[in-house]
Structures are given as C-alpha cells and as structure tokens.
C-alpha cells in the first residue's frame, strides 16, 4: 500500500512569491493534517481535515495561508505571499481514526521550503 505522497519535495522561492504544496493521503484515510516543522522543533499543526471539512484551523495564519481538500481526498496548502519566516518543512499526514479513537498518523516525506 502506498504511503502519504507529497510534492514537491523541495521548493526555493523568493519572498512575496506564491507557493503551493500537494498531498495525497493513504487510501481510505478520512483525516488529513498539515504540519509545519521548523528546524530543531517538532511538527506544529496548521490545519486538520475530517473528509472535506476543516475541523481545526486555529493555527493557520489565514492572512497568507490557505488550504483545501476537495472531494475529501487530495489536499493543497498555499502560501501567498511567502515571507522569510515561512522557510520550514511542511508535512502532510493522514489517519483513519474515527471520533474518540487513537490518533496514529502516517506522515509523508515533507516539502522543504526555502524563502530567499
């Protein structure tokens, strides 16, 4: 079974430019997460989807970040415009949990973003 797929793996852009990341979760996983991981730190949740619905986006900087999960499968995370401080690894994860169940997440390899 294929794991979580993310693309691109690496992205270098200049500040103020837009950038988008794509994620394809494990087949059948209804929950999808986007995390940002800064150097030397753990992943921080940006947004969590249950199927098509964003159930937790409290940590998403909504002035420049947006996300969508059309049809409850693939997801795209966008930054517009990018700032220097957005340089990080953006991780996508998925899980098959139902309400109240345990939360074992399966992570993709991440997209390393460098903003110059």
Q: Whole-number minimum distance, CB 14 to other proteins, in Å?
A: 24
Place of tokens 């996983």: 29
CB nearer to other proteins: give 40 or 70.
40
Q: Whole-number minimum distance, CB 109 to other proteins, in Å?
A: 5
Site for other proteins, rule CB under 8 A:
4, 31, 40-45, 48, 50, 55-56, 91, 93, 95, 97, 99-110
CA angle in degrees (0–180, nearest 5) for 27-30-32? 95
Q: Whole-number minimum distance, CB 106 to other proteins, in Å?
A: 7
Q: Given the DSSP bridges, would you call strands 111-115 and 10-13 parallel, antiparallel or unpaired? A: parallel
The DSSP letter of residue 85 is G
């Amino acid at each position: 079974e294929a794991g979580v797929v993310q693309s691109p793996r690496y992205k270098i852009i200049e500040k103020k430019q837009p950038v988008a990341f794509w994620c394809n979760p494990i087949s059948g996983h209804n929950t999808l997460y986007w995390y940002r991981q800064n150097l030397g730190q753990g992943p921080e949740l940006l947004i969590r989807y249950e199927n098509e619905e964003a159930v937790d986006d409290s940590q998403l900087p909504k002035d420049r970040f947006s996300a969508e999960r059309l049809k409850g499968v693939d997801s795209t995370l966008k930054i517009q415009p990018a700032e220097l401080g957005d340089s990080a690894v953006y991780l996508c994860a998925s899980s098959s949990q139902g309400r109240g169940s345990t939360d074992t997440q399966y992570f993709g390899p991440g997209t390393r973003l460098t903003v110059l």
